Amino acid sequence: DIQMTQSPSSLSASVGDRVTITCRASQSISSYLNWYQQKPGKAPKLLIYAASSLQSGVPSRFSGSGSGTDFTLTISSLQPEDFATYYCQQSYSTPRSFGQGTKLEIK
């Protein structure tokens, strides 16, 4: 099974900050990497698929990069609505494992 490890587990930042979250796979997954945002009490929402493709309707301040085993999600200028938990997920093979999540909090 492929293990996904995110860092950091939590992060405090301010509105307007640039933020980067990292996800590492235990083996190469090419570009089969997706990012989701989850707010309390809500279902996850797809942000980025195929490592760097922006899902329709997602603001352009979100971007993704990487391939192989190392990936990043970047938010270029944090907005108040971006404070949430972020998960990476690999779709290279089953089981479709998720990272443990990164909670982004207001500083």
Partner 1 sequence: QVQLVQSGAEVKKPGASVKVSCKASGYTFTGYYMHWVRQAPGQGLEWMGWINPNSGGTNYAQKFQGWVTMTRDTSISTAYMELSRLRSDDTAVYYCAREGCSSTSCYLDYWGQGTLVTVSS
Q: Which residues bind partner 1 (CB under 8 A)?
A: 1, 31-34, 36, 38, 43-46, 49-51, 53, 55, 87, 89, 91, 94-101
**Least distance in angstroms from the C-beta of 3 to partner 1:** 13
What distance in Å separates the CA atoms of residue 61 and residue 10, rounded to the nearest whole number? Answer: 20
Nearer to partner 1, 7 or 77 (CB): 7
**Least distance in angstroms from the C-beta of 7 to partner 1:** 14
**Least distance in angstroms from the C-beta of 42 to partner 1:** 8
User: What does the DSSP 8-state code read for residue 2?
Assistant: -
Q: Rounded to the nearest 5 degrees, what angle is found at the Cα of 49, between the Cα atoms of 48 and 54?
A: 45
Nearer to partner 1, 17 or 65 (CB): 65
What distance in Å separates the CA atoms of residue 37 and residue 33, rounded to the nearest whole number? Answer: 14
Instruction: Tell me if residue 29 falls in helix, strand or coil.
Output: coil
